[in-house]
Amino acid sequence: MTKFSIIIPCFNAEATLGTTLDSIRAQSYTDWEAIIVDDGSTDKSGQIARSFAQRDSRITSVRNKLKNPSTARNYGAMNIAHGEIFAFCDADDVWSTGKLASLAQAFTDPKIHGAFGQIAFFKNTPRDASVFSTVPNGNLTIEILLGENPVCTCSNLSIRRDSFIRSGGFAIDMVHNEDLDWLVRAVGQGLQIVGLQELHTYYRSSPGGLSSDLEAMATSRQRVFATAAQFGVCPSPQNHAIYHRYLARRALRMCDNRRLPLRFTLAGIKSSPLGFFSSPRRGALTLIAALGVLVMPRPLIRSLFA
């Protein structure tokens, strides 16, 4: 059996899909298959996917027309994939060359059901990355997830095949926070998901539609609360504060709306000052930056935060 099945949902990603697939083909660990699930693209994404599949027999391209990323991921994993471990990757992100080798070593421990690594955020090329996620020690808990999700993106998530199937997959009626909702369910069901202190994934920051996306993320979080409540966990004021700090920092990185970072910052401080400043440096810098972008020239904002 193939070790890793890499599931790649794709919709109109002609500008980035090739770079994503190049990073997968460059993996030092070579026992993998990649399944591109085209969600009804109208650009050259399908052509690019087929071209890579012709050059590399480990790559397969299938269509799952006009659904959504969660449906595409579930379809690729549950209907097409043959691997022992599912590793998800979005069609605009990039993997470090040692990611699969790191995961293969981690999954030698039979007690581990899932794993993730560190994220680097970039705009144009991974070499530009200057902001990195924090990976907590030990297993994920629902309490951690209700604050700032350290997995950050589906592109950073890998899970054993049988564990993912038993979980029921991603909620297909969610567009935002579907990964967080799945993580809460998985952890609540007893799956052990661990963070690895290694850089695994480069996340491409895109300013398009950011304000509405962040607002939608905050709204969809109510669905995650309902999922957490099924396992007897309710969000604390500290959780709310940490999450709003995360939204404020993400809004700063995208440079889309001058007022949005401060709105999230003030909401976090109002919820719990102790929570917002639980990481004093991160909290203080977020507050200073949120105030600063109100008066900074936009080119300076981009150079500092993008």
- Average pLDDT in the chain: 90
pLDDT, tens digit (0-9, with 9 covering 90-100), for 242-287: 889 988 988 887 766 888 899 999 999 999 999 999 889 989 999 9
Q: What is the mean pLDDT of residues 7-21?
A: 95
Name the pLDDT band for 206 (thresholds 50, 70, 90).
low
Can you tell me the mean pLDDT for 173-177? 82
Q: Is a pLDDT exceeding 50 seen at residue 210?
A: no
What is the predicted pLDDT for the residue at 293?
Answer: 87
Q: Which residue has the higher pLDDT, 255 or 144?
A: 144
Query: CATH number of the domain at 4-204, out of 3.90.1150.10, 3.20.20.10, 3.30.1330.10, 3.90.550.10?
Result: 3.90.550.10
Domain boundaries, the chain: 4-204, 210-305
Report DSSP letters for the chain, one per residue: --SEEEEEEESS-TTTHHHHHHHHHT-S---EEEEEEE-S-SSSHHHHHHHHHHH-TTEEEEE-TT--HHHHHHHIIIII---SEEEE--TT-EE-TTHHHHHHHHTTSTT--EEEEEEEEESS-GGG--EEPPPPSSB--HHHHTT--TT-SGGG-EEEHHHHHHHT-S-TT-SSSHHHHHHHHHHHTT--EEEEEEEEEEEEP--TTHHHHHHHHHHHHHHHHHHHHTTT----HHHHHHHHHHHHHHHHHHT--SSHHHHHHHHHHHH-HHHHTSSHHHHHHHHHHHHHTTTS-HHHHHHHH-
Over range 82-105, report the average pLDDT: 97
